Structure 1
Amino acid sequence: MSTVSDELIEQLKELDTPTVCNALESVVPQRRGYGYTTDPLVCTRPELGSMVGYARTACIRAMHPSDVRGEAARDLQHGYYSYIDDGPKPAIIVIQDLDGEGRGYGSFWGEVNSNIHNGLGCVGLITDGSVRDIPDIAEGFQMLADRIGPSHAFVHTVSYGGGINVAGMRVSSGDLIHADQHGAVVIPNDKAHEVPDAAAAIARRERVIINAAQEEGFNFERLKQAWGDAAEVH
């Protein structure tokens, strides 16, 4: 599994997720149409800004009790937390709720699990299920979820480590994820180093247009000029 430098992760954290998506359109043009969340998610702590980390994937259900019992259930639980602990850091947990239209029926996420995962090197969570205990979530732990709910119901882990789809974003274990209040995107590891420079170039071009738009007397002719000027910025 390839990883990127801590320095690059810090650089990526300085960007918001829409900017990363824009940069990826330049670096990997075919990624314009996929690789990011397309369904809305609730961000519980937008003030935390962006999080960047390696995906740890899992699937859950909560509407009905698990068919796995006893030692087998314990082995599944231990295997999941061992998988989280053994992966590259920082990590972002990405969990698909398999309850279909009933997803979010019960929450895997609250005060206890956020603290456990935070202690195991995870900076946050992305799920199409629910979260709860919002005031008591581990300090600095970000959560993007389909909804907020009150109960854990019969929540249980079904599997972990496989490919999943959360809110329209396909994720494999170990993928590099960038997320903030807008949603999340998978960054190809081998292209991640190109994202900061691509983002900076886009920002320079956008600044030309924004500055023009804020001028007194701005009109369509000035906009056309600004478009042309921006195209010359690299």
Structure 2
Amino acid sequence: MDDALLEFLKSVDTPTVCNAIETAQGKRGFSAFTRRPVIVADRDARPIVGFASTGKVASKFPSPETPESVRERRLGYYRHMATSPKPAIAVIEDIDYPECLGAFWGEVNATVHKGLGLSGAITNGLVRDLGSLPADFPILAGSVGPSRAFVHVTGFGMPVEIFGMPVKQGDLIHADQHGAIVIPPDVVSGLRDAVRTVLEAEKVVLETARKPDFDIDMLVDAWTRFEDTRNG
């Protein structure tokens, strides 16, 4: 993941990358993506690309542990985030889902993560403070709520699942307002070319369909060329 590829992937949306992965793999059926709608704190934010730094929280009930243990785990979690390979995205599973009660993500926590070098966050839990979140720190969440309730960190660095998408520590993530995907390691080297193939194939149909005299015969011709370009 060199800087040039990173910037290139930030320039295209997640559905395009999702299609490009299938192009690179030479088949349909890629399945490492979120399966539920997400709340996006800033719809104008660019896509986020980075390596997953995972954790789990709970929010519905107070932690049964001592306040000292809760604090030490939270600080251990922050150390984990600070030392994760960058660019990094916090991928946090609220284990109370779908009955999440408290927001782990708000102005303070988002600002802390951004200051520690994280590029954004993905969670099935809640987000709050929508008007006060730091700029250039995209957050994808399951819902919006006003309270922190009893939210506390239960662990970090382990596999998590966000809306049906399994994520391991260090997985390469691409995400935007459509949701998130895990990019398979074996397609990374060819992903730039695969994205360009997808865009060129779509261009064949789009340019034809936008013509004033567009009709079904033109579509048949364009669609044939579209499939040849996409599958060639």
In which range does the TM-score fall when normalised by the shorter chain?
over 0.9
Taking the aligned partners of 2:114 and 2:47, their CA distance within structure 1 comes to 16
CA offsets, 1:97-156, max 9 Å, x none?
A: 1113312x1001111101100011111111110000111111211011111100000100
Residue 16, structure 1, aligned to residue 13, structure 2: yes
Taking only aligned residues, the RMSD between alpha carbons, in angstroms, comes to 1.5
Match for residue 105 of structure 2 among 94, 102, 109: 109
Tell me, yes or no, if the aligned pair for 2:21 and 2:30 is still in contact at 8 Å. Answer: no
* Aligned twin of 1:163: 159
Match for residue 49 of structure 2 among 45, 52, 67: 52
Instruction: Give the TM-score normalised by the residue count of structure 2.
Output: 0.94
Tell me, yes or no, if the aligned pair for 1:26 and 1:198 is still in contact at 8 Å. Answer: yes
- Which sections of structure 1, spanning at least 5 residues, go unmatched? none
Tell me, yes or no, if the aligned pair for 1:177 and 1:186 is still in contact at 8 Å. Answer: yes
* Aligned twin of 1:98: 95
In structure 2, the residue corresponding to 1:217 is in which secondary structure?
A: coil
In structure 1, the residue corresponding to 2:135 is in which secondary structure?
A: coil
Alignment of 1:203-214 (within 5 A): 203-214=199-210
Tell me, yes or no, if the aligned pair for 1:49 and 1:181 is still in contact at 8 Å. Answer: no
Taking the aligned partners of 1:113 and 1:156, their CA distance within structure 2 comes to 12
How far off is 1:8 after superposition?
Answer: 1.4
Match for residue 188 of structure 1 among 177, 184, 188: 184
Tell me, yes or no, if the aligned pair for 2:70 and 2:153 is still in contact at 8 Å. Answer: no
Instruction: Give the TM-score normalised by the residue count of structure 1.
Output: 0.93
Taking the aligned partners of 1:118 and 1:144, their CA distance within structure 2 comes to 15
Ranges of 4+ aligned residues in structure 1 off by more than 4 Å: none
CA, structure 1 residues 67+30, in 2 after alignment: closer, same or farther (shift >3 Å)?
A: farther
Q: Which amino acid aligns with 2:111?
A: N
In structure 2, the residue corresponding to 1:59 is in which secondary structure?
A: strand
CA, structure 1 residues 113+30, in 2 after alignment: closer, same or farther (shift >3 Å)?
A: farther
Alignment of 1:10-159 (within 5 A): 10-29=7-26, 32-103=29-100, 105-159=101-155
Tell me, yes or no, if the aligned pair for 1:51 and 1:178 is still in contact at 8 Å. Answer: yes
Taking the aligned partners of 2:10 and 2:47, their CA distance within structure 1 comes to 5
Q: Which amino acid aligns with 1:42?
A: I
In structure 2, the residue corresponding to 1:108 is in which secondary structure?
A: strand
Tell me, yes or no, if the aligned pair for 1:24 and 1:31 is still in contact at 8 Å. Answer: no
Taking the aligned partners of 1:132 and 1:49, their CA distance within structure 2 comes to 20
How far off is 1:31 after superposition?
Answer: 7.0
Aligned residue pairs total: 230
Share of identical aligned residues, percent?
A: 40
In structure 2, the residue corresponding to 1:46 is in which secondary structure?
A: coil
How far off is 1:216 after superposition?
Answer: 2.3
- Which sections of structure 2, spanning at least 5 residues, go unmatched? none
User: Which of 117-126 and 212-221 deviates more?
Assistant: 212-221
CA offsets, 1:165-201, max 9 Å, x none?
A: 1011110011110011111111123422211211111
Taking the aligned partners of 1:101 and 1:6, their CA distance within structure 2 comes to 37
How far off is 1:202 after superposition?
Answer: 1.3
